[in-house]
């Protein structure tokens, strides 16, 4: 397809609903597309929708080594409910060892740049390696989650592959309603007041009136509440991250 045709197709998909987008995606990319999920509400809604329109759906998750036990429980529920093989991606052990040796196991509490370093090594780099196998991937991003996600497109082409966010225009209530109506498995930590679920040390329950991303890295102020998978930290933190990452990779090779 030429560039003009591709742009027209992407514009059409922007108006499509989640089911039609997933039908198009799995027909277009076959076994070179995967749902990437941490089994939060959005990812589970997508997985359930996908199970209704395609077979042999690939499911990828990141095991950072710091996940809560409830997430492993969720993985088992997903295997039993949907009969899928979960492709679990782990960070490079040598990179984790070098980082922890240099900065300690809980470095993320020290500064935003150190937290970004931990996310980079435990999440971003492992996912980048996995994505090299794929032509497209499906995420649970929604525009209403925070300001950084307000302009998320349902289908976009970047870095040689297609990124698909079929729930981009859904509200949190739409996600909850879909899960209730279709008896979709729910991550146990939601009952404890969590609205976002990541690594155990970096996630807490959210209080009344708080933003749904408030439970992520709650000790940080005036910093992006993103891990770097979907949005790269900007400015000073990014430059510091580059330095920290280079030091860790050099220590690993030493």
Write out pLDDT tens, residues 122-144. Answer: 999 999 999 999 999 999 999 87
Copy the structure tokens of residue 159: 């870095």
pLDDT of residue 1: 41
Arithmetic mean of pLDDT, 192-211: 90
Asked if residue 18 has pLDDT above 90, the reply is: yes
Which residues have CB under 8 Å from 4's CB, separation 6+?
none
Q: What is the pLDDT of residues 84-109, one digit of tens each?
A: 999 999 999 999 999 999 999 999 99
For residues 211-240, average pLDDT: 66
pLDDT at residue 224, rounded to an integer = 60
Token pair for 160: 């040689």
159 secondary structure, DSSP code: T
- Rounded to whole angstroms, the Cα distance separating 74 from 47 reads 13
Q: Which is catalytic among the residues 119, 199, 202, 227?
A: 227
119 among known catalytic residues: no
**Domain boundaries defined on the chain:** 3-253
pLDDT at position 70 over 80: yes
Taking residues 237-246, report their average pLDDT: 73
Predicted local distance difference test score (pLDDT) of residue 226: 58
Q: What is the mean pLDDT of the chain?
A: 88
Local confidence band at 4 (pLDDT 50, 70, 90 cut-offs): very low
Q: Give me the pLDDT at residue 241, please.
A: 77
Under the banding of pLDDT at 50, 70 and 90, the label for residue 2 is very low
Q: Which CATH fold topology does 3-253 show?
A: Rossmann fold (3.40.50)
195 and 179 Cβ atoms separated by less than 8 Å:
no
Query: Could you tell me if residue 30 is left (phi over 0), alpha (psi between -120 and 50 degrees) or otherwise beta?
Result: left
Token pair, residue 142, equals 């929604």
Q: Which of 128, 3, 23 is nearest to 13 (CA)?
A: 23
pTM: 0.85
Q: What is the pLDDT of residue 27?
A: 95
Query: Model confidence over 41-50: pLDDT tens digits?
Result: 999 999 999 9
């Amino acid at each position: 397809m030429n560039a003009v045709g591709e742009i027209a197709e992407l514009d059409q998909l922007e108006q499509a609903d989640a089911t039609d987008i997933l039908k198009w995606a799995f027909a277009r990319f076959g076994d070179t597309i995967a749902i990437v999920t941490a089994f939060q509400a959005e990812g589970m809604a997508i997985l359930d929708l996908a199970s209704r329109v395609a077979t042999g759906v690939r499911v990828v998750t990141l095991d950072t080594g710091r996940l809560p036990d409830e997430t492993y429980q969720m993985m088992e529920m997903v295997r039993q409910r949907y009969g899928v093989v979960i492709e679990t991606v782990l960070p490079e052990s040598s990179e984790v060892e070098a980082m922890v040796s240099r900065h300690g196991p809980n470095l993320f509490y020290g500064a935003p740049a150190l937290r970004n370093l931990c996310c980079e090594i435990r999440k971003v780099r492992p996912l980048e390696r996995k994505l090299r196998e794929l032509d497209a991937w499906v995420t649970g991003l929604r525009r209403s989650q925070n300001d950084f996600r307000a302009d998320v497109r349902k289908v976009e082409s970047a870095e040689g592959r297609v990124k698909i966010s079929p729930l981009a225009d859904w509200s949190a209530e739409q996600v909850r309603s879909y899960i209730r109506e279709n008896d979709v498995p729910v991550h146990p930590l939601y009952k404890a007041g969590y609205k976002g679920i990541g690594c155990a040390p970096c996630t807490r329950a959210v209080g009344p009136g708080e933003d749904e991303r408030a439970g992520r890295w709650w000790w940080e102020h005036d910093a992006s509440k993103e891990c770097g998978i979907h949005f790269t930290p900007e400015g000073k933190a990014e430059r510091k991250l580059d330095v920290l990452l280079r030091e860790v990779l050099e220590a690993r090779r030493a």
